[in-house]
Structure 1
């Protein structure tokens, strides 16, 4: 980076799903004439579009986005990978811009860019393979219960439908005797740019209405067909997520379609609640209402 490092600012737009982050990020990108990095861990995948609420073609054309459609569901990708790639990209973007935007709802990936991770000690050999086998035999509920006992803090933050995240946390606990969460908040790695975190949220009832409406729109726009096209890949980690898992159960004839759609809404609302809990612990976030007609002016004022 150049000598103006102290002037470089990463604007982080944070919030639960369906809170209006994409629209706000695009408007802010226009204001600062800059680019957007996505911090949504499911929008990385090319094959998953409708169920991940990716920005539309028009939205992607309205501002330059990175980390959308950059991976295949067959690729393994971690928050550590994202940290390395995002920091390399920011290094280049800050040569052209004083402001860059990071927008998304994946708390772990936002933490990766803003703070980084402490180094984990070596894991017990063979433990990950053992945990994966136990997951295949006993299912995700067993992992969830084990994590709840081992690390109640992380249990409240993690995507409970993501078995690999659960396995990773249990692996750390069983290898070290210390909860995964204790390794994730020791030291903040100093970044060569200023970070301003802007949070978007609505009153719960209104947010839940937005979520329900969004799910209905996804169904209208072809979500069922998208999930059907991915049935052969359902074992992959990327597809262990809300909006896909429920419809896989529908295709297995375990539940009917109406129930699957209702479960998507319910599980998305629960996911939003966990996001709010995660972000609520970060005292650096400046919270705003996305339905404020002067939102962009409010954001710009907070960034100065």
Structure 2
């Protein structure tokens, strides 16, 4: 941990747990800005299915990396690392504390720790894996990843084809599991990282997730997904809330079944987020009601 007084307060936790509200409350308390580390809220065209903060929430504190890019652009965790660090360098000139919030573990880690230099996949390997995905689907690739890298499989978002294929690319190129590259020496950052994990009773969280999905449908998720059809192969759209609706639009599922799958996959994703963040760094866990304890932890 750096000796600098500059502090990055990272708010993590599962989807629908209340991270946005907590980040805004912290930003207002410290008179600072918020960086979003949600890998899908970058995109202007994806709002309803990503549970993006409302206009009122965005106005309540300065936000960065929301609506900052177009889905037509390719944007990686490495790109985010470079841009976020440059922004933090600027923000820390006038703020002692900045808030980072998000449920995308890979993007949180990009800012807080950086990445080891991963091997570049051989084109033939990448082509083979992508062809396998197109012809056989995700399940065989998931099984392969579980066999060769169970440590990564346990905590990764294995419903995301991009994550699965990338991990297999690394393994087949290097002969080493993807997880081994994530366990090497971490990069030292010129700021202190304090990670606040938000949690709640599982039945309550799952009910919030189900209600959120119903609200997304009522707010026009179907129309949003239809408008994104030309970009459906983009990694950000091969994810929960979009993939299932594409299957409905393709006639593979009824709307009722598609919505049920969105809810089910969202609950599974929340479980994986909790698993990932509980193993990540030095996260201390609180409920949204633990405001005084959270401040004591941050100020310690």
**How far does residue 122 in structure 1 lie from its aligned partner after superposition?**
4.2
**How far does residue 5 in structure 1 lie from its aligned partner after superposition?**
7.2
Asked if 1:211 is matched to 2:209, the reply is yes
Residue aligning to 1:31? 29
Aligned residue for 1:49, secondary structure, equals coil
Aligned residue for 1:156, secondary structure, equals helix
Residue aligning to 1:143? 141
TM-score calculated relative to the size of structure 2: 0.96
**How far does residue 139 in structure 1 lie from its aligned partner after superposition?**
1.5
Residue aligning to 2:297? 302
Asked whether the 8 Å contact 1:28–1:296 carries over to 2, the reply is no
Which of 201, 225, 228 matches 1:227?
A: 225
Residue aligning to 1:88? 86
Aligned residue for 1:95, secondary structure, equals coil
Q: 1:156 to 1:227 in 2, by over 3 A?
A: same
Q: 1:140 to 1:94 in 2, by over 3 A?
A: same
Distance 1:145 1:128 in 2: 17
Aligned residue for 2:187, secondary structure, equals coil
Residue aligning to 2:109? 111
Distance 1:122 1:62 in 2: 42
Residue aligning to 1:120? 118
Residue aligning to 2:173? 175
Unaligned residue ranges in structure 1 (runs of 5+)? none
Asked whether the 8 Å contact 1:82–1:112 carries over to 2, the reply is yes
**How far does residue 77 in structure 1 lie from its aligned partner after superposition?**
1.4
**How far does residue 121 in structure 1 lie from its aligned partner after superposition?**
3.3
The number of residues matched between the two structures is 298
**How far does residue 297 in structure 1 lie from its aligned partner after superposition?**
2.5
Distance 1:69 1:63 in 2: 15
Distance 2:71 2:159 in 1: 16
Once the two structures are superposed, what CA deviation does each residue of 1:50-81 show, in whole Å capped at 9, x if it has no partner? 00000000000111111111111122111111
Residue aligning to 2:164? 166
* 4+ residue segments displaced more than 6 Å: none
Aligned residue for 2:155, secondary structure, equals coil
Distance 1:289 1:149 in 2: 36
Distance 1:279 1:206 in 2: 19
**How far does residue 150 in structure 1 lie from its aligned partner after superposition?**
1.3
**How far does residue 148 in structure 1 lie from its aligned partner after superposition?**
1.1
Counterpart mapping for 1:230-245 below 5 A: 230-245=228-243
Give me the CA root mean square deviation.
1.4
Counterpart mapping for 1:29-68 below 5 A: 29-68=27-66
**How far does residue 89 in structure 1 lie from its aligned partner after superposition?**
0.6
**How far does residue 125 in structure 1 lie from its aligned partner after superposition?**
4.5
TM-score calculated relative to the size of structure 1: 0.95
Once the two structures are superposed, what CA deviation does each residue of 1:112-165 show, in whole Å capped at 9, x if it has no partner? 111111112343343212222222222212221111111111112222222222
